[in-house]
Amino acid sequence: MILCQLRFSHEVRDVMPARLMTITDACEPVICDFGILHIYWLAIDSLDGDLLQDVNHISYNELRSATDNFHSSNKIGRGGFGNVYKVVRKFQMGTLRTGIQVAVKTLSAQSKQGAREFLNEIKTISNVRHPNLVELIGCCVQGANRILVYEYLENNSLDRALLGSRSTNIRLDWGRRSAICLGIARGLAFLHEELVPHIVHRDIKASNILLDKDLNPKIGDFGLAKLFPDNITHISTRIAGTTGYLAPEYALGGQLTMKADVYSFGVLILEIISGRNSTKPSCGGTDKLLLEWAWELHEEGRPLELVDPEMGEFPEEEVIRYIKVAFFCTQSAANRRPLTGQVVDMLSKQIRINDKLLTAPGFFRDSDSASGGPSSMKKSSTNSTSYQMSSVPVTITEVTPR
């Protein structure tokens, strides 16, 4: 097992200054139609017009009217950069059809990184469509207002359904959990292998997976995403993402590849199976992280002790297969992790996982969260310490004879 200790806040966002904008005073909130509105406050002096030419534009007044002028009775929560409101009346969305359900994200004037992410989301996904990706419907760039309008997902985020109050009406049995895993994998495979330039999300986690009325998963929040041209194998970049989900080679060296998303997805599989939070070191009655504890159970021949007791009955062999897929996705060396297309096959087909190829997963932790003491970078002694990059996939599956 590779163990590194690194001090981060749980939300590690890229803090490079916004290239095309400056932040001024706070402005009013923002809105939309019969949906949930993620509201941030932002004023920006300038914006690259080329990024906006292919995006539907919606007026600020239409959005404000749809939320009853951001009345406090419509406020239902607070997002990462601002307040969350519900929409109480329909509105005309420019050239878009009326009466559709949407969600609105507005940016906070106090958030320079939010301003940068506003631009990045438009650049990355304005013309991208896939059943497992949240659709960007339009935006508002008017005066000091910068607002993104998305399709509305009725069941909110996966972390709320999975890790939130047990009083929720959503029951995630194995059929739903496995379908959620597979849907996320298909969305990632589309980003990594079908789009050109490819897209690395950089922040795959439960709170960035939204669920529609039928609990189909959609990947959202592309504010940290990076575009990968076809001839590029990796990018050296500042670290961004969320602790507990960050691949070791990326967290330690800033070397970003698509395998960083694969690692994050592997951790997410374990969260979905266990109903536990990967960012809190409190598994197994100790201060172990979820990945560390899951591997310990695997090594001791007790992998099914990982399963969330709320899941109900489940097919043991299939659950064990998903756990092994999670371990392949979180291998310490990036070149030992599968491609996302391979992950889709491993999750969706009746195949046998060749677990003889499995080595201990790699991870790091925020030492402050575990001990409250000073943070340090530490690597455990193990033979499996290579972080080299490779575009050559490793063979990890075998077809099960019928």
In the predicted model, what is the mean pLDDT of residues 338-363? 90
Read off the pLDDT band of 37 (50, 70, 90): very low
3 located within any domain: no
Based on the domain organization, do 261 and 354 belong to the same domain?
Answer: yes
5 located within any domain: no
Range of the domain at 88: 14-151
The verdict on whether residue 288 carries a ligand-binding annotation is no
> Which of these ranges, 145-159, 271-285, 377-391, has the smallest mean pLDDT?
377-391
Based on the domain organization, do 165 and 307 belong to the same domain?
Answer: yes
213-263 tens-digit pLDDT: 999 999 998 888 888 877 776 777 777 788 889 999 888 888 899 999 999
The question of whether 345 is a catalytic residue gets the answer no
Read off the pLDDT band of 47 (50, 70, 90): low
Sheet holding 83-86, edge to edge: 75-78, 83-86, 36-38, 102-106, 145-151, 136-142
Based on the domain organization, do 219 and 368 belong to the same domain?
Answer: yes
> Which of these ranges, 131-140, 247-256, 360-369, has the smallest mean pLDDT?
360-369
329 located within any domain: yes
Based on the domain organization, do 174 and 132 belong to the same domain?
Answer: no
- Check residue 51 and give its pLDDT: 62
Read off the pLDDT band of 350 (50, 70, 90): confident
278: domain CATH number is 1.10.510.10
Based on the domain organization, do 105 and 19 belong to the same domain?
Answer: yes
Based on the domain organization, do 19 and 54 belong to the same domain?
Answer: yes
Based on the domain organization, do 236 and 369 belong to the same domain?
Answer: yes
Q: Among residues 120, 135, 151, which one ends one of the domains?
A: 151
Query: Highest mean pLDDT: which of 3-17, 57-71, 222-236, 327-341?
Result: 327-341
Residue 84 predicted with pLDDT over 70: no
- Check residue 109 and give its pLDDT: 59
Based on the domain organization, do 391 and 246 belong to the same domain?
Answer: yes
pTM above 0.85, yes or no: no
- Check residue 100 and give its pLDDT: 65
How many residues in the chain? 402
Q: Among residues 101, 123, 151, which one ends one of the domains?
A: 151
Q: From the candidates 14, 203, 221, 261, which is the catalytic residue?
A: 203
Based on the domain organization, do 145 and 205 belong to the same domain?
Answer: no
Residue 33 predicted with pLDDT over 60: no
Read off the pLDDT band of 80 (50, 70, 90): low
Based on the domain organization, do 41 and 159 belong to the same domain?
Answer: no
Residue 6 predicted with pLDDT over 80: no
1 located within any domain: no
8 located within any domain: no
Q: How far is CA 216 from CA 103, 131, 176, 223, 397, in A?
A: 17, 9, 9, 22, 26
336 located within any domain: yes
Fill in the amino acid letter for 51: L
**How many distinct structural domains can be found in the chain?**
2
- Check residue 365 and give its pLDDT: 65
**346, 368 contact by CB (below 8 A):** no
36: domain CATH number is 3.30.200.20
Higher-scoring residue by pLDDT: 284, 129: 129
Residue 268 predicted with pLDDT over 90: yes
298 located within any domain: yes
Based on the domain organization, do 388 and 357 belong to the same domain?
Answer: yes
Mean pLDDT of the chain: 75
Based on the domain organization, do 38 and 173 belong to the same domain?
Answer: no
Residue 186 predicted with pLDDT over 80: yes
Residue 207 predicted with pLDDT over 60: yes
Q: Among residues 98, 117, 151, which one ends one of the domains?
A: 151
6 located within any domain: no
Tokens of 10: 């749980």
Residue 395 predicted with pLDDT over 80: no
Phi and psi at 180, nearest 5°, equal: -65, -45
